[in-house]
């Protein structure tokens, strides 16, 4: 499913409108974790990450893992420095008021799968 | 882990200096310093749990600086509730003789709202040393939580747990940005005191000398020379 369609279906708020390269991207895989070392090791390239971790490192890790987007759950919002870095790195950031479990469940229902599907 | 028991155990283990680093609190440090008297150097510190659930070991020049820093950290914590107490038990503030002086009602085992950078700044703001705790462990270490070591945070040293022997090949894997290693027991129980230790080459067992040793300044150093 296209990232922009996912964002619409899940009612996500976009934090990085300047990042346009990902909206048409077809998102097939996702990962959920709040430990960035774990994300670094396991997140699937081209996928979407669902996390509570708003530390600046999430952008470096997302970039390194070649993620298309990060969805912050539980209405957790990264600060301006993080959004700026995301713009620079071409990582799309979104926020959902729903908690991680619900966000992941809804992504899964839309056809976005994990590493072991 | 009463102050007299901690001091007794540390001396039996041949330690010259210890630091009291309760989670998110420095309220017990002065009592241990008093119990130790001149027999053992005791630094006042605390282990801060950051917003990202990283542990930051803070060591302060004296108990008053630690207390002030502790108050700032405490201001970001909530109060204990029944569920918390059922799981964690009572949080005792003890006197030098081990008797109970007060109960702490802040939920010390929870994360503060300070991110890693803010926690290090807070520690430095009170004249303290900020050490990235047990970076070899898979939980609560800055590397496990943040993926990559936060080089810009301003840490004075990195800490390795008892599971990494000083000078071992594994130790070299954790070398980050030229920061010195400290090895700590992170003792939560009496029996763990002395399970790990750091060799500090300095003139006397004081905070100021430790700071010089970590900075590698004026001929002081840590680890095997």
Q: Report domain extents, chain B.
A: 3-222
Range in A10-14, A22-26, A98-102, B189-193 with the lowest mean pLDDT: A22-26
Is the Cβ–Cβ distance between B116 and B152 less than 8 Å? Answer: no
Q: Which residues, including other chains, have CB under 8 Å from residue B126's CB and lie 6 or more apart? A: B60, B65, B66, B68, B69, B72
A31 vs A57, B37, B146, CA distance in Å? 16, 54, 16
Asked whether the predicted pLDDT for residue A74 surpasses 90, the reply is yes
pLDDT confidence of B176, banded at 50, 70, 90?
confident
Q: Is the dihedral of CA B220, B211, B47, B30 positive or negative?
A: positive
Is the Cβ–Cβ distance between A61 and A39 less than 8 Å? Answer: yes
CATH assignment of B3-222, among 3.90.1530, 3.30.700, 3.20.20, 1.20.120: 3.20.20
Q: Which residues, including other chains, have CB under 8 Å from residue B37's CB and lie 6 or more apart? A: none
Q: Which residue of B has its CA nearest to A53?
A: B52
Would you kindly state where each structural domain of chain A is located, as residue ranges?
A: 3-109
* Mean pLDDT across B195-222: 97
The tens digit of pLDDT for each residue in B47-74 reads 999 999 999 999 999 999 999 999 999 9
Q: Tokens 């022997």 correspond to what residue?
A: B165
Task: Give the containing element (helix H, strand E) for A49.
Answer: strand A48-51
- State the smallest CA–CA distance between residue B146 and chain A in angstroms: 5
Asked whether the predicted pLDDT for residue B224 surpasses 90, the reply is no
pLDDT confidence of B172, banded at 50, 70, 90?
confident
Superfamily holding A3-109: HprK N-terminal domain-like (3.40.1390.20)
Q: Considering only the beta carbons, identify the residue of B51, B52, B147 that sits closest to A61.
A: B147
ipTM: 0.84
Q: Which two tokens stand for residue B157?
A: 């040293």
- Whole-model pTM: value is 0.92
The answer, for A53 touching chain B at a CB cutoff of 8 Å, is yes
pLDDT for residue A24: 87
The answer, for A55 touching chain B at a CB cutoff of 8 Å, is yes
The answer, for A37 touching chain B at a CB cutoff of 8 Å, is yes
pLDDT for residue B66: 98
Task: Give the containing element (helix H, strand E) for A85.
Answer: helix A80-89
pLDDT for residue B56: 98
Say what percent of chain B tops pLDDT 70.
Answer: 100
Q: Which two tokens stand for residue B206?
A: 């004081």
pLDDT for residue A117: 76
| Other residues' Cβ atoms within 10 Å of the Cβ of residue B148 | 15
The answer, for A60 touching chain B at a CB cutoff of 8 Å, is yes
The answer, for B116 touching chain A at a CB cutoff of 8 Å, is yes
Question: Which phi-psi region, left, alpha or beta, contains residue B122 (left: φ > 0; alpha: ψ -120 to 50)?
Answer: alpha
Is the Cβ–Cβ distance between A48 and A30 less than 8 Å? Answer: yes
Is the Cβ–Cβ distance between B94 and B101 less than 8 Å? Answer: yes
Q: Considering only the beta carbons, identify the residue of B116, B138, B147 that sits closest to A40.
A: B147
* Mean pLDDT across A42-50: 97
Asked whether the predicted pLDDT for residue B225 surpasses 70, the reply is no
SS3 B143: helix
**Cβ contact (<8 Å) for A61 and B150?**
no
- State the smallest CA–CA distance between residue B14 and chain A in angstroms: 37
SS3 B214: helix
Residues listed for chain A? 117
pLDDT confidence of B120, banded at 50, 70, 90?
very high
């Amino acid at each position: 499913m296209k990232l922009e369609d996912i964002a619409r279906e899940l009612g996500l708020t976009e934090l990085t409108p300047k990042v346009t390269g990902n909206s048409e991207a077809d998102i097939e895989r996702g990962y959920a974790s709040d430990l960035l070392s774990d994300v670094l090791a396991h997140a699937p390239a081209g996928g979407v990450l669902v996390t509570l971790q708003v530390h600046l490192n999430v952008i470096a890790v997302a970039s390194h893992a070649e993620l298309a987007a990060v969805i912050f759950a539980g209405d957790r919002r990264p600060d301006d420095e993080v959004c700026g870095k995301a713009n620079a790195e071409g990582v799309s950031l979104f926020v959902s008021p729903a908690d991680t479990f619900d966000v992941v469940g809804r992504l899964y229902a839309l056809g976005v799968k994990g590493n072991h599907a | 882990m009463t102050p007299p028991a901690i001091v007794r155990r540390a001396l039996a283990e041949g330690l010259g200096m210890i630091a009291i680093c309760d989670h998110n609190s420095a309220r017990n440090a002065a009592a241990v310093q008093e119990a130790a008297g001149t027999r053992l150097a005791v630094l006042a510190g605390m282990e801060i749990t950051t917003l990202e659930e990283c542990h930051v070991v803070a060591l302060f020049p004296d108990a008053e600086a630690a207390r002030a820093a502790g108050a700032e950290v405490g201001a970001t914590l909530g109060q204990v509730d029944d569920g918390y107490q059922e799981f964690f038990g009572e949080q005792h503030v003890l006197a030098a003789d081990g008797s109970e002086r007060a109960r702490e009602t802040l939920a010390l085992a929870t994360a503060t709202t300070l991110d890693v950078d803010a926690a290090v700044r807070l520690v430095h703001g009170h004249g303290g040393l900020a050490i990235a705790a047990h970076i070899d462990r898979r939980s609560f270490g800055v590397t496990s939580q943040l993926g990559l070591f936060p080089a810009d945070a301003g840490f004075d040293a990195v800490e390795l747990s008892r599971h990494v022997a000083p000078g071992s090949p594994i130790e070299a894997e954790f070398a980050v940005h030229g920061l010195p290693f400290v090895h700590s027991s992170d003792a939560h129980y009496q029996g763990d005191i002395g399970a790990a230790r750091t060799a500090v080459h300095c003139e006397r067992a004081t905070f100021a000398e430790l700071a010089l040793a970590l900075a590698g300044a004026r001929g002081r150093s840590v680890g095997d020379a």
